[in-house]
Amino acid sequence: MTIATIDPSTGELVQEFPAHTAAQVEEILSRADAANELMARSTFAERAEWMRRAADLLDADLEHAAGLAVLEMGKTLGTAKYEVTKSANGMRWYADHAEEYLAAEEPVPAASVGASAARVEFQPLGTVLAVMPWNYPFWQVIRFAAPALMAGNTGLLKHASSVPQTALYLGELFARAGFPAGAFQTLLIEGAAASALLDDRRIRAVTLTGSVGAGAAVAAAAGRNIKKSVLELGGTDAFVVMPSADIARSARMGAASRTQNSGQSCICAKRFFVHADVYDEWLEAFVGEMSATTFGDPREEDTGFGPMATAQVRADAHELVADAVAQGVTVRTGGELPEGPGWFYPATVLTEVTPEMRIFREECFGPVACVYKVASIDEAIAAANDSDFGLAAGVWSADADEIARLQRELEFGSVFANGNSASFFGLPFGGVKDSGYGRELGSFGIREFVNAKTVWTA
């Protein structure tokens, strides 16, 4: 088996890499296991020094690293540079805050539990396997790796098969920065092999960002082996527009959210629920914004968005659109496969979407927006919550009471008001329902892969 880099903007094969053999995987596991003792004995200060050095290396490699993201998944050069810089800054965040997040706590007075001393300490679990996607090939990995390593764990990265050069770069970055040999390594293996790895007792936990199917397989393997898992599985994210909203700005931000990363973002808006009082005005503005945002060469500065990452991802998105068209959806803009090389897809707006259409419930991972008219805030909440997913939502209103109610009653892992959904170093990130469980980032993320140990003394 080989793992390949294929340029999404041309569809051409760039380079192939042999998958790791069983013997090579065993060597990688052995190195990680040997590094666990060194990592557990290291201090926060030592790990912080290594992490800051890794961040500096990533900054120094900005042009090369961003170029890999452009080449392997079609990200525009500007957004690729932003992602790499954000990743480096996220590493510095955990270098600065890990010791604070994992400081021992005394949750109750010792005497109340019959002790002279009682506290909770946070200690590393060991080797954590990360199964990561291609859509944010640096940031998705770093937001796992930075907290896991700063907690004293070791990490194994099974990256998406379409970004092998990025995976290999990240597999070397932390060793270059001074972390013990084997503390963080890349596995070039197929997806099915990742679940099988959880049968190995040297791997103590797993985190996955990907599809519901992949998450279910990994969770089943983790459960069978009594191992901790964290899953982030995407979403059909809601975008609610109320009559008091800034129409022009919300339409502009909605289009930016839907076309960001060529629509291949778990937390960006996909289902737009617009109050009837402003529906026509908002839809006209939104269609105009979407129509004006065009795809093109991801290496050109004025490109709105680049190609989709793989031929299959584009085919999956278009299949959902075609199914909706066959059942009578109204296409306001886009919706047709462009001619020529590369895996491009136009910004697309659909209205009159009905429950019989697959796109009504399934996540469309592409620049395709479904717009619905709602008569009230009650209907908006009910419609937004009528989803198997619950990752992120955005609400647009100038009414503080409306915002408070929407943020309280929408069933999502995060609800942003008058701004697009995003991930932040200091805030937890994750979802509910089929969007997964567990959290990344902030103090919640670093505490996912530690042993919260009670220490009691009579």
Q: Work out the burial of residue 63: count CB atoms within 10 Å of its CB; fewer than 13 is exposed, 13-18 middle, 19 or more buried.
A: exposed
The stretch 319-333 carries a mean pLDDT of: 98
pLDDT recorded at residue 2: 74
- Express each pLDDT in 245-285 by its tens digit: 999 999 999 999 999 999 999 999 999 999 999 999 999 99
pLDDT recorded at residue 1: 67
> How far is CA 395 from each of CA 61, 249, 387, 399, 436, rounded to the nearest angstrom?
38, 12, 17, 11, 22
Beta strands in 361-417 (DSSP E): 368-374, 389-390, 392-396, 414-417
Q: Amino acid identity, residue 290?
A: M
* Cα angle 434, 438, 443; round to 5: 150
Residue 99 and residue 147 in contact, taking contact as beta carbons nearer than 8 Å: no
The stretch 97-115 carries a mean pLDDT of: 98
The stretch 45-53 carries a mean pLDDT of: 98
pLDDT at 12 over 90: yes
User: Which run of H or of E encompasses 184?
Assistant: strand 184-186
pLDDT at 241 over 90: yes
Three-class secondary structure of residue 95 per DSSP: helix
Residue 273 and residue 387 in contact, taking contact as beta carbons nearer than 8 Å: no
Catalytic residue list: 232, 266
The stretch 137-160 carries a mean pLDDT of: 98
Q: What is the DSSP string of 253-312?
A: HHHHHHHGGGG--TTS--EEEEETTTHHHHHHHHHHHHHH--B--TTSTT-SB---S-HH
The stretch 17-42 carries a mean pLDDT of: 97
pLDDT recorded at residue 193: 87
- Chain-centroid distance of CA 217 in Å reads 18
* Cα angle 159, 192, 22; round to 5: 85
pLDDT at 28 over 80: yes
Mean pLDDT across the chain, nearest whole number? 97
Three-class secondary structure of residue 5 per DSSP: strand
**0.95 exceeded by the pTM?**
yes
Which residues have CB under 8 Å from 314's CB, separation 6+? 307, 308, 337, 343, 344, 345, 366
Distance CA 194, CA 343 (A): 28
Q: Give the confidence band of 194 by pLDDT, cuts at 50, 70, 90.
A: confident
pLDDT recorded at residue 191: 84
The stretch 203-230 carries a mean pLDDT of: 97
Phi and psi (nearest 5°) for 42?
-70, 160
* Cα angle 222, 227, 228; round to 5: 100
pLDDT at 97 over 80: yes
* 279 CB neighbour count, 10 Å cutoff: 19
Would you give the end-to-end CA distance of the chain in angstroms?
59
pLDDT at 192 over 90: no
pLDDT at 242 over 70: yes
